[in-house]
């Protein structure tokens, strides 16, 4: 676990810290070999040196973004497409339930992990 990523997560509101901790644990369960680093001011999870996912804390939400996701369909109201569609993101607000299994499946599909 990267100290800078931990500090980023711990500086958030308590509910955001819980969400980020759950997302971080899900990434490491899904991609045990993933490395983490604070890049561009946000926690990035890398597999084979290539960014696979990003956590971003905003004022009223936590966003979880998966990269290399052009082959993943957006889900209206849940999973949105960013840019040219190669990135997909989910926004989590206070009180929202996080479907870690859904996110883990997307992460496996975008990284080729089993």
Please state, in angstroms and rounded to a whole number, the distance separating the CA atoms of residues 82 and 105: 19
For all residues of the chain together, what is the average pLDDT?
95
Average pLDDT estimate for 7-11: 96
Q: How far apart are CA 99 and CA 30, in angstroms?
A: 14
Domain boundaries, the chain: 3-111
What CATH number was assigned to the domain covering residues 3-111? 3.90.1150.200
Q: What is the dihedral of CA 49, 6, 53, 18, to 10 degrees?
A: 160
Q: What is the rounded average pLDDT of the residues 33-61?
A: 95
83: tokens are: 């840019």
Q: How many Cβ atoms from other residues are within 10 Å of residue 73's Cβ?
A: 10
pTM, two decimals, is 0.94
> Lowest mean pLDDT: which of 20-24, 36-40, 72-76, 96-100?
72-76
- Give the C-alpha distances (Å, rounded to integers) separating 16 from 34, 61, 67, 73, 103: 22, 7, 22, 26, 17
Count of CB atoms within 10 A of residue 94's CB?
13
């Amino acid at each position: 676990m990267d100290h800078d990523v931990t500090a980023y997560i711990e500086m958030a509101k308590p509910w955001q810290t819980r969400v980020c901790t759950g997302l971080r644990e899900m990434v490491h369960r899904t991609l045990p070999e993933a490395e983490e680093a604070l890049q561009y001011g946000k926690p990035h999870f890398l597999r084979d040196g290539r960014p696979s996912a990003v956590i971003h804390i905003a004022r009223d939400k936590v966003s979880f973004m998966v990269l290399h996701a052009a082959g993943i369909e957006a889900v209206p109201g849940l999973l949105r497409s960013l840019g040219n569609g190669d990135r997909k993101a989910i926004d989590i607000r206070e009180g929202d339930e996080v479907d870690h299994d859904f996110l883990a499946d997307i992460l496996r599909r975008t990284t080729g992990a089993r």
